[in-house]
C-alpha cells in the first residue's frame, strides 16, 4: 500500500512535482511530465517515453542525457493524455523529430497515436514504437499484441544513445525497433499491489503460491502455481526467455543485455541472490551477460514480484546499450566534457501551480465560439447533464475500480471521476460564457481526455468531440440530430478502439443505447422519454457483459477471469447516460 498520500487524485501530479524538485539538476517539470534540463542540440532527435505513473523509475527516472529527452506520465496506471504527450514533446523537440516509445497498452497506443497526428499536422516528424517484450501476454506468432514491461528499458536506452550520437529519426527508430524485436521478458508476483488511497490490493496471491506472467499495472498473472525456490525460479525465468530466442538456435557466446527487475517489494539483496542463480545458468549455457542491470527499474507500487528481460545484442545494439547516460535513476559511464549537469540556481525549478498557466496546459477546444440562442440553451442542458454524470461517477468510483481490478489495473473509477469532473467544469465554464452545444461538448471532451488519460479518457474525449462536431453551434438540436450525433460518436469510438459489440467494452452499452434511442424516437416518443428508455436499455446491456469474455483491450489477456463481472466501461457509460437524462428531474434546464 501507499503510506504517504494527500489526495489520491493528485498523487501522480504531486509525485512528479517532488521528483522535479529533488532532481532539478537533471529534469524540469512541464505540463504532462518532465523533460531533461539540458536542451537537445539543434536538429537532434527527441526520444519521448511515457505511460502511467506508479512505475518509477520508469518513466521519469529515465530522462537525461544518453536516454530519454522527456517522459509523459499519466495518472496512476493510466496512460498520459494526448495533450500531455504533446506538451512534453513540444518542450524538447529541436528540429530532428520525435520518437515516441511506450508500453503496448490500448490507452497508450490511442493517446500516443493522437499526439503523433497532432504534431504531424504541425510539421513535426514523429515515429511511434510500442514495446512488446512480455512473452506471457500473447504467443510469439502474435508479438504485436504483447504487452510492454521491463524490457522497455533496453529499448529506451538504445534509442536515447543513438539520438545522442546524432543519428537521424529513421535510424533511431530502426535501432529502437531492432532492440524491441530482440527483447523478451517474463515476470512473477507473490502479492498484488494497492493503489494510493485504496483499501484492498488489485489482486491477491495465496501464501506459498506465485502468479506467473502478471503485468506491471496490477493485472493478475496468466497462471498461478506453487512458489519455487530461488534456483528453480531462475530456471523458470531463464528457460522461458531462452525458448523465445529471436536469433534462432542457441549458440555459445551469445551476448545478451539482462535486466533483473524488482516490482516494488522484492528488495535489492533478494534480487542479487536471484541474479546469482541467473548468472550461473548463463554461464552453463555459454551466454554472456553484457552490462546487466539488477534493481527496481519498472515497478508496480508495492507489488512483490520480479521480472527478467533479455535482449540479444548485435554490435550496434551492444555499443548503444553500453554508451554513457546520466538520468535520475540510471547512470552509466562518463559523459563527454561539458555535459556535466549543474544544480539549477535558486527558484529555477517550478511545480505544477506555475506550469498550468502555459498554453499547453489548456485542453484543445477550450474556447468560446459564437452561437445562437437555441444552441446556447442546449449547451446549458449539456453542462447540467455532465455535472450530474460527474456526480454519479464519483459516487460509483470504488465499485468501478473493483470491476476493473478483476482483469485490469483497477484505475477505471479514478480515471472516470477525474475525467468527468474536468469535463463538467469545462462545460459549465463554456456554457456560462455563451458557447453553443457543439463547442461545449468539444471542450468537455478535450478536458475529459486530458484529465483522465488512459483508454477510457481517450475514447470519451473522442466521442464527445465527435458528437459536438455533429451538433454544431447553430439552432436547438432536434431529436434526430441528437441520435445522429450518438451514432457518429459510437462509430468513432469503435474505430479508434478497434473493438466491436460483444468484445466486452464500452461499446456494449453505447451501441444498444444509440439503437434504443432511435427506435423510441421512431415510435413517436419525445427526446426525454426516448432517452430514459434508452438509458434503461444501456444499463441492462451493461449487466449482460458479465457473461462475456473480453476480446479487446487490456482485459483480453485475462479473459476468463472477468467472466461473471460486468465490463466497467459499459457500466460507467450506462451511469453517465442515466444521470444525464435526469437533468429535468433536478430542476435544471430542459
Same domain, 148 and 240: yes
Exactly one of 31, 55, 217, 412 is catalytic; which is it? 217
Same domain, 263 and 372: no
| pLDDT band at residue 361 under the 50/70/90 scheme | very low
In a domain, 352, yes or no: no
pLDDT tens sequence across 302-337: 899 999 999 999 999 999 999 999 999 999 987 765
In a domain, 351, yes or no: no
Same domain, 308 and 390: no
Instruction: Mark which of 302, 324, 346 sits at the end of a domain.
Output: 324
pLDDT of residue 4: 87
d(C-alpha 60, C-alpha 356), whole Å = 19
Same domain, 388 and 242: no
pLDDT of residue 71: 98
pLDDT of residue 37: 95
- CB < 8 Å & 24+ apart, contacts of 231-234: 231/277, 233/188, 233/274, 233/277, 233/306, 234/274, 234/277, 234/278, 234/280, 234/281
Cα torsion at 111, 576, 13, 326 (round to 10°)?
A: -20
Domain span at residue 471 reads 364-586
Same domain, 108 and 178: yes
Same domain, 12 and 63: yes
CA-wise closest residue to 169 among 119, 87, 95, 92: 95
**Mean pLDDT in the chain?**
90
Q: What is the mean pLDDT of residues 272-296?
A: 97
In a domain, 264, yes or no: yes
| pLDDT band at residue 552 under the 50/70/90 scheme | low
Higher pLDDT, 339 or 500: 500
Instruction: Mark which of 274, 295, 324 sits at the end of a domain.
Output: 324
SS3 266: coil
In a domain, 354, yes or no: no
In a domain, 553, yes or no: yes
pLDDT tens sequence across 14-33: 999 999 999 999 999 999 99
Quote the cell numbers at residue 101.
516509445
pLDDT tens sequence across 420-459: 999 999 999 999 999 999 999 999 999 999 999 889 999 9
In a domain, 333, yes or no: no
Same domain, 169 and 256: yes
Q: What is the mean pLDDT of residues 211-232?
A: 87
Indicate if the pLDDT at residue 535 is higher than 70: yes
Q: What percent of the chain has pLDDT over 90?
A: 76
Same domain, 147 and 26: yes
d(C-alpha 142, C-alpha 90), whole Å = 34
| pLDDT band at residue 414 under the 50/70/90 scheme | confident
Same domain, 425 and 298: no
pLDDT tens sequence across 51-77: 999 999 999 999 999 999 999 999 988
Higher pLDDT, 363 or 583: 583
The enclosing domain of 546 has a CATH number of 1.25.40.340
Query: Which of 61-75, 81-95, 342-356 bottoms out in mean pLDDT, i.e. has the lowest?
Result: 342-356
Same domain, 375 and 302: no
| pLDDT band at residue 553 under the 50/70/90 scheme | low
DSSP letters, 476-501, are ---HHHHHHHHHHHHHHHHHHHT--T
Give Cα 308 distance to the centre of its chain: 22
Total tally of structural domains belonging to the chain: 2
pLDDT tens sequence across 165-220: 999 999 999 999 999 999 999 999 999 888 887 777 877 888 999 999 988 876 77
- CB of 131 within 8 A of CB of 155? yes
Walk across the sheet containing 126-131 and list its strands.
27-30, 33-36, 70-76, 46-53, 98-103, 126-131
Indicate if the pLDDT at residue 232 is higher than 50: yes
Q: What is the mean pLDDT of residues 545-564?
A: 73
Q: Which residues of 9-21 are buried (b: 16+ CB within 10 A; e: fewer)?
A: bebbbebbbebbe
Same domain, 552 and 499: yes
Q: What is the mean pLDDT of residues 96-104?
A: 97
Same domain, 442 and 581: yes
The enclosing domain of 307 has a CATH number of 3.40.50.10440
Higher pLDDT, 359 or 182: 182
Instruction: Mark which of 274, 292, 324 sits at the end of a domain.
Output: 324
Query: Which of 34-38, 98-102, 201-205 bottoms out in mean pLDDT, i.e. has the lowest?
Result: 201-205
Indicate if the pLDDT at residue 367 is higher than 80: no
Report angle CA 220, 221, 222 to the nearest 5 degrees. Answer: 130
pLDDT of residue 203: 78
Q: What is the mean pLDDT of residues 354-367?
A: 47
Q: What is the mean pLDDT of residues 496-508?
A: 92
| pLDDT band at residue 365 under the 50/70/90 scheme | low
pLDDT tens sequence across 165-180: 999 999 999 999 999 9
pLDDT of residue 583: 83
Indicate if the pLDDT at residue 133 is higher than 90: yes
Active site residue 250: no
d(C-alpha 53, C-alpha 514), whole Å = 35
In a domain, 344, yes or no: no
Indicate if the pLDDT at residue 486 is higher than 80: yes
pLDDT of residue 216: 84
Length of the chain in residues, anyone? 590
Query: Which of 32-41, 74-83, 133-142, 212-221 bottoms out in mean pLDDT, i.e. has the lowest?
Result: 212-221
pLDDT of residue 366: 62
| pLDDT band at residue 589 under the 50/70/90 scheme | very low
Phi-psi region of 77 (alpha: psi -120 to 50; beta: other; left: phi over 0): left
Indicate if the pLDDT at residue 339 is higher than 90: no
In a domain, 547, yes or no: yes
Higher pLDDT, 409 or 5: 5
Amino acid at each position: 500500500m501507499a503510506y504517504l498520500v494527500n489526495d489520491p487524485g493528485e498523487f501522480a501530479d504531486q509525485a512528479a512535482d517532488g521528483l522535479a524538485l529533488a532532481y532539478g539538476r537533471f529534469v524540469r517539470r512541464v505540463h504532462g511530465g518532465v523533460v531533461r534540463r539540458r536542451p537537445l542540440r539543434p536538429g537532434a532527435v527527441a526520444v519521448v517515453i511515457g505511460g502511467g505513473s506508479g512505475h518509477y523509475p520508469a518513466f521519469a527516472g529515465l530522462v537525461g542525457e544518453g536516454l530519454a529527452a522527456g517522459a509523459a506520465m499519466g495518472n496512476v496506471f493510466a496512460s498520459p493524455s494526448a495533450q500531455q504527450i504533446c506538451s512534453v514533446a513540444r518542450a524538447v523537440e529541436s528540429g530532428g523529430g520525435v520518437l515516441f516509445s511506450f508500453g503496448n497498452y490500448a490507452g497508450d497506443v490511442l493517446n500516443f497515436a493522437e499526439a503523433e497526428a497532432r504534431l504531424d499536422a504541425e510539421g513535426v516528424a514523429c515515429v511511434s514504437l510500442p514495446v512488446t517484450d512480455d512473452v506471457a501476454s500473447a504467443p510469439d506468432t502474435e508479438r504485436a499484441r504483447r504487452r510492454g514491461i521491463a524490457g522497455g528499458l533496453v529499448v529506451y536506452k538504445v534509442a536515447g544513445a543513438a539520438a545522442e550520437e546524432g543519428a537521424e529519426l529513421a535510424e533511431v527508430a530502426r535501432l529502437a525497433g531492432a532492440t524491441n524485436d530482440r527483447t523478451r521478458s517474463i515476470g512473477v508476483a507473490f502479492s498484488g499491489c494497492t493503489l494510493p488511497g485504496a483499501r484492498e490490493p488489485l489482486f491477491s496471491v495465496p501464501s506459498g503460491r506465485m502468479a506467473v506472467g502478471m503485468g506491471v499495472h496490477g493485472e493478475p498473472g496468466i497462471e498461478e502455481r506453487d512458489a519455487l525456490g530461488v534456483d528453480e525460479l531462475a530456471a523458470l525465468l531463464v528457460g522461458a526467455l531462452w525458448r523465445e530466442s529471436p536469433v534462432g538456435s542457441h549458440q555459445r557466446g551469445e551476448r545478451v543485455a539482462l535486466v533483473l527487475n524488482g516490482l516494488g517489494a522484492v528488495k535489492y539483496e533478494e534480487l542479487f541472490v536471484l541474479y546469482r542463480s541467473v548468472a550461473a545458468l548463463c554461464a552453463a549455457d555459454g551466454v554472456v551477460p553484457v552490462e546487466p542491470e539488477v534493481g527496481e527499474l519498472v515497478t508496480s507500487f508495492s507489488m512483490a514480484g520480479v521480472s527478467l528481460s533479455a535482449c540479444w545484442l548485435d554490435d550496434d545494439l551492444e555499443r548503444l546499450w553500453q554508451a554513457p547516460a546520466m538520468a535520475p535513476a540510471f547512470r552509466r559511464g562518463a559523459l563527454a566534457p561539458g555535459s556535466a549537469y549543474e544544480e539549477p540556481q535558486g527558484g529555477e525549478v517550478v511545480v505544477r501551480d506555475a506550469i498550468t498557466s502555459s498554453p499547453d496546459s489548456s485542453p484543445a477546444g477550450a474556447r468560446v465560439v459564437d452561437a445562437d440562442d437555441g444552441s446556447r440553451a442546449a449547451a446549458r442542458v449539456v453542462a447540467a447533464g455532465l455535472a450530474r454524470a460527474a456526480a454519479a461517477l464519483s459516487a460509483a468510483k470504488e465499485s468501478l475500480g473493483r470491476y476493473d481490478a478483476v482483469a485490469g489495473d483497477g484505475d477505471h473509477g479514478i480515471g472516470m471521476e477525474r475525467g468527468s469532473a474536468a469535463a463538467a467544469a469545462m462545460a459549465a465554464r463554456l456554457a456560462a460564457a455563451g458557447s453553443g452545444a457543439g463547442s461545449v461538448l468539444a471542450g468537455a471532451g478535450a478536458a475529459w481526455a486530458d484529465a483522465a488519460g488512459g483508454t477510457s479518457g481517450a475514447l470519451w474525449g473522442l466521442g464527445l468531440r465527435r458528437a459536438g462536431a455533429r451538433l454544431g453551434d447553430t439552432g436547438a438540436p432536434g431529436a434526430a440530430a441528437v441520435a445522429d450525433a450518438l451514432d457518429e460518436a459510437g462509430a468513432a469510438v469503435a474505430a479508434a478502439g478497434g473493438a466491436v459489440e460483444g468484445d466486452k467494452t464500452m461499446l456494449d452499452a453505447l451501441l444498444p443505447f444509440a439503437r434504443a434511442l432511435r427506435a423510441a424516437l421512431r415510435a413517436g416518443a419525445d427526446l426525454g422519454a426516448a432517452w430514459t428508455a434508452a438509458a434503461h436499455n444501456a444499463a441492462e446491456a451493461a449487466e449482460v457483459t458479465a457473461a462475456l469474455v473480453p476480446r479487446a483491450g487490456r482485459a483480453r489477456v485475462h479473459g476468463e477471469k472477468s467472466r461473471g463481472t460486468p465490463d466497467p466501461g459499459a457500466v460507467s457509460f450506462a451511469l453517465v447516460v442515466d444521470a444525464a437524462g435526469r437533468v429535468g428531474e433536478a430542476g435544471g434546464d430542459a
